[in-house]
Amino acid sequence: KQEVTQIPAALSVPEGENLVLNCSFTDSAIYNLQWFRQDPGKGLTSLLLIQSSQREQTSGRLNASLDKSSGRSTLYIAASQPGDSATYLCAVKVGTGNQFYFGTGTSLTVIP
């Protein structure tokens, strides 16, 4: 069974800092990996999707990388802002059953 781990569980940084969130998964046979943000009590907002054949994706201040062989992905956030405060989740899609496995998330607080 695929297991997805996110480290750290919580992170607090001052505004303007660059930061990295980590996601690791146990089975490298994935179709893709998706990063989401979740605001308290809300649904998930898709940030970036990386296909298994890709190494990275970028959107604005966000950059996500994927290293399938080592079972790792990172989400880089440049010049963090208070509005970035949320829980960030990564999810990997496996072929069988089209199922996504989610990590438990990193709670990010950006201090003004």
Partner 1 sequence: EAGVTQSPTHLIKTRGQQATLRCSPISGHTSVYWYQQALGLGLQFLLWYDEGEERNRGNFPPRFSGRQFPNYSSELNVNALELEDSALYLCASSLRRTGKDGEQYFGPGTRLTVT
Binding site for partner 1 (CB under 8 A): 31-32, 34, 36, 41-46, 49, 51-53, 89, 91, 93, 95, 97-105
| Residue with smaller CB distance to partner 1, 71 or 105 | 105
| Residue with smaller CB distance to partner 1, 80 or 89 | 89
Separation CA 77–CA 16 (nearest Å): 10
DSSP state of 15: T
Separation CA 6–CA 62 (nearest Å): 17
| Residue with smaller CB distance to partner 1, 18 or 51 | 51
